[in-house]
């Protein structure tokens, strides 16, 4: 019975393992979570952290699958840093929007029901850049003090 359940579970997660998009299970023998295999086609780079995917095929950068809630630009930057990541740069965000697999609400949230901007890393004199209101190419700027959604990126 356990073998059959485990077999179905492994079959269900095989697509995630192939993408090497993060942790895929728990190994009781070593009492630890198990990461997806290292991406063999990317100079042996590690898999993306849990909840992240590569910004594009063979990318060295991972991006959050889903936007993180509203925060000022400064808080968003600090919250990403607290997890060992960073706010995505404009270029990373744009690449992910056009290429990453499985992203949730990156642009045109809810099929147009709740259009929202997301902070990106570029900031100057208290004005920061935003991306993705209704389409991947949408950009704008705003004072860093107001709350918008954001995503973190991380190198692998």
Q: pLDDT tens across 81-108, in order?
A: 999 999 999 999 999 999 998 888 887 6
CB atoms under 10 Å from CB of 113, counted, come to 7
- Compute CA 119 distance to the chain's CA centroid, rounded to the nearest angstrom: 13
Looking at residue 58, its pLDDT comes to 82
* Average pLDDT rounded to a whole number, residues 29-53: 63
Looking at residue 51, its pLDDT comes to 92
Specify whether the CB–CB gap between 52 and 66 falls below 8 A.
no
- What's the predicted TM-score (pTM) here? 0.71
Domain range enclosing 75: 48-155
> Where does the pLDDT of residue 143 fall: very low under 50, low under 70, confident under 90, or very high at 90 and above?
very high
For residue 54, is it left (φ>0), alpha (ψ between -120 and 50) or beta? beta
d(CA 141, CA 117): 10
Residue 37 and residue 93 in one domain: no
Over the stretch 122-140, which tens digit does the pLDDT of each residue have? 999 999 999 998 889 999 9
Looking at residue 31, its pLDDT comes to 53
Q: Is 133 helix (H, G, I), strand (E, B) or coil?
A: coil
Residue 59 and residue 126 in one domain: yes
d(CA 36, CA 53): 12
Question: Residue 45 carries which DSSP code?
Answer: P
Residue 142 and residue 70 in one domain: yes
Residue 74 and residue 125 in one domain: yes
Residue 82 and residue 104 in one domain: yes
């Amino acid at each position: 019975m356990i073998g059959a359940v485990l077999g179905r579970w492994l079959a269900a997660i095989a697509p995630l393992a192939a993408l090497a998009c993060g942790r895929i299970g728990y190994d009781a023998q070593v009492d630890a979570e198990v990461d997806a295999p290292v991406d063999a086609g990317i100079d042996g780079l590690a898999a993306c952290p849990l909840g992240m995917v590569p910004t594009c095929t063979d990318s060295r950068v991972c991006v959050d699958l889903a936007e993180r809630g509203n925060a000022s630009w400064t808080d968003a930057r600090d919250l990403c840093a607290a997890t060992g990541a960073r706010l995505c740069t404009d270029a990373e965000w744009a690449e992910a929007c056009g290429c990453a697999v499985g992203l949730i609400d990156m642009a045109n949230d809810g099929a147009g029901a709740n259009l929202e901007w997301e902070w990106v890393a570029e900031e100057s004199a208290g004005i920061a850049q935003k991306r993705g209101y209704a389409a991947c190419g949408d950009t704008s700027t705003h004072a860093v003090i107001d709350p918008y959604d954001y995503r973190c990126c991380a190198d692998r």
